[in-house]
């Protein structure tokens, strides 16, 4: 018989439309907390270390960023400047966006991972692995395609994070805590893992909830994150698309492997 192929859009629809099997919240194997916490801590340490040590040809990274803006301009998809101007005209929105960029990425993702471990134990292993795979794919992107964010190229955009650094805990390296700028790779724009992790959150919550309003409403979070990363001049639209891609790919790979293990 001929092998059946599944297109990437079909896989994405499968991830977002098929709910998890009906199981009790406490079903599944108990989570071993010490190894899991050690794994999450190791993931974060490797993520930060890899971002810091990946070699960056600055001139190439800046040229790649300028090329992205030029391509988006040709396609009339260059929305970074209008969104950035909006924050400039509404300082309160700019301040809120800066705090959202510096906070949600590090709070919502572990909170949803913890919720899955406590309330959806049957799916925890696959969701954890999905996050791991998406993050690794993102790091590969940083290594292969170092890209300067819009705020670091001569595009006339305001660095929103720097503009509000005096009222936040971050310094002059986006959301890196003040004094720890050296641990951040500022040329890691492609893909946006802020958006990637937000999409992982939405896919995870959708998969483990049957309530329609939750399954739909959870997508507000990645939409807000996509707005924030572009409006603050930290990412391009193409970075947002890349973030969605690594999250969908990581989730599909992890769930496919999990189903095969179960069989």
List the chain domain ranges. 33-262
Check pLDDT > 80 for residue 124. yes
Give me the pLDDT at residue 12, please: 53
Q: What is the 3-state secondary structure (H, E, C) of 161-182?
A: HHHCHHHCCECCCCCCECCCHH
Give me the pLDDT at residue 54, please: 61
Mean pLDDT of 134-163: 90
Rounded to an integer, what distance in angstroms lies between the CA atom of residue 186 and that of residue 184? Answer: 6
The pLDDT tens digits for 34-57 are 677 777 677 767 766 666 666 667
Check pLDDT > 50 for residue 26. no
Give me the pLDDT at residue 118, please: 87
Q: Which of 82, 89, 52, 64 is nearest to 163 (CA)?
A: 89
Which of 85-94, 118-127, 197-206, 233-242 has the least mean pLDDT? 118-127
Mean pLDDT of 214-224: 95
Mean pLDDT of 212-238: 95
């Amino acid at each position: 018989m001929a092998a059946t192929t599944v297109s990437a859009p079909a896989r994405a629809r499968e991830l977002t439309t098929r709910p998890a099997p009906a199981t009790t919240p406490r079903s599944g194997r108990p989570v071993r907390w010490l190894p899991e916490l050690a794994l999450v801590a190791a993931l974060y340490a490797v993520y930060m270390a890899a971002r810091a040590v990946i070699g960056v040809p600055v001139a190439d990274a800046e040229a790649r960023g300028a090329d992205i803006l030029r391509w988006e301009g040709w396609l009339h998809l260059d929305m970074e400047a209008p969104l950035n101007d909006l924050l400039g005209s509404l300082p309160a929105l700019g301040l809120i966006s800066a705090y959202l960029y510096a906070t949600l990425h590090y709070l919502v993702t572990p909170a949803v991972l913890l919720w899955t471990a406590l309330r959806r134990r049957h799916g925890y292993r696959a969701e954890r692995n999905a996050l791991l795979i998406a993050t690794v794919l993102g790091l590969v992107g940083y290594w292969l395609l170092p890209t300067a964010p819009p705020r670091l190229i001569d595009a006339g955009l305001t660095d929103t994070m720097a503009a509000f650094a005096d009222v936040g805990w971050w310094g002059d390296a986006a959301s890196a805590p003040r004094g720890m700028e050296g641990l951040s790779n500022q040329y890691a724009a492609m893909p946006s893992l802020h958006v990637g992790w937000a999409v992982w959150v939405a896919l995870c919550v959708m998969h483990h909830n049957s309530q329609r309003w939750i399954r739909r409403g959870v997508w507000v979070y990645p939409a807000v994150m996509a707005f924030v990363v572009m409006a603050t001049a930290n990412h391009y639209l193409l970075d947002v698309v890349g973030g969605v891609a690594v999250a969908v790919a990581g989730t599909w790979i992890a769930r496919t492997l999990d189903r095969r293990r179960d069989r």
